[in-house]
Chains A and B, each alone.
Chain A
Amino acid sequence: MNDRNLVRGLVLMAISLAFGLESLRYPIGTFSRAGAGLFPLMVSSLLLAIGLITVVRSRFVERVHLDFQAKNIAIILGSLCGFALVSHFLNMTAGIAFMVFSASFAATSYSVVRNLQVAAGLIAVAFAFQKLLGLNLPLY
């Protein structure tokens, strides 16, 4: 199963099925009077075909190991979502500080002093954006 070519085909098929099955819920119509579901259904059918070809072809070409490391992407996405939640419930200044401190877990080393400096610098940039460029940032 740990074959990049095979997984690639399966992921493409999964995407095509997700869109294709959903588009069946919309009116299809005819080619001359297309409904909302016709075009996405055509495109997802084509994608399904490409996914199938990729899966079949993966049996005939050399297997390539799929390298997937969940840790860093989880930390980065967690920091982004945390930024949005903290900004929503508190304010964006706290959100920026949270993001810097949590994202740094993915770095090669962790330093509280460095994080404080980076967070302070970025908060200053955010204030500059708000005051100089007129961006509507809920910083406080």
Chain B
Amino acid sequence: MLEQIKKEKVGKMKKLKEGNDRTLRVALVLLPLFIFLAILLAFSSVSYAFDSNPNPNSNPNPNDIHATVRVVPSAGTECIPNPFVVGNPKEKVFTCYIELDTVSSSKIIPSTLRLSLVERPVTPIPILPKSPNKIGDFDGDGVKDMKVTFNKTAIDEWFQDLYMPTDFTFKINGEIEGIPGYIFTALDRITVIKPSYTFVHFSGSGGEVKAIEGIDLSKATIISSNIEKSGHQMIKLDLVKFNFVKTWEDISSTVSGTVPMEVLRGRYVNLGFTAWITYQSNDCVFTPSPSSASYSFLECDGKGAFFKRGLAVGYSRKDADIHFETDGTTATMIAKHDGVVVFEQSNVPLKNFAFEVETKPWFLFAS
């Protein structure tokens, strides 16, 4: 019995010991787990709170944006001759002086320079092989410039279709030493004149021609004198710069319209005088009237005009209006002043005709 009780006590103690051992083992297992979980929990919270960058080790300040800009120098140029006369045999080169802002013009790379136009596509022209490429101060503004020259004959080719003096923007592009990849643009405004415009006027008995400012009639070439014994002349002005104080209106596709007329602030010259004085790219065809110079006829191809004489006498055309109608091949024109028809012309061939409208008188007739 005692033996049995002893065994039971031993058994209980063994169980108790085994139980204590189990509790200890559980505790030993849980403690590291608890520590691990606590660390994991703390780490996960902290890292999330401060994880502002997907790749925090790549850049100490991950939200920096680096910006760059290259400030490049502006360029300017002044070219001569201005005005530029197409085909002038005395002028072989076109000279330009190029300045750079904040950078010495000596940094310009001459071999990269190209001359072209802003207003129309042309083949860019390089500088001449003998271009001086000299550094100086052409315009005396204290900024050094580079003198370069271009083949003027090559530039002439750009303007073969020019029919009236026109301002063009000449453009020079080029590169600068030390600023790779940058192509500067320098601009200059040049008046281009293609000579051999025919400037026609009449002078004769009883009349005197007075040119407005800018027209040097002393350089006129007399083409025809005393036309049909009227005492009138047709003259041609070459290589003369003058200001056209009129606008042009192409009526080749216009059905009808009314334009103000201030063609002549005139007095009569012998007979009455009604005219559209003209310049054009081609010579006009003058058809003298077999009966009277008053009915002679001038017709011009291309951009031009025509005039006809003899339908009005002693009349000022100032403030008159011209009404014109066209079917695309011919035109009818009627000029009125104060409601009175002072000129009428029908069946005028158009032939790409451009109608000339003056906003100011550009020469005067005086009795």
Q: Do A and B come from one complex?
A: no
Q: List chain A positions with a Cβ less than 8 A from chain B.
A: none
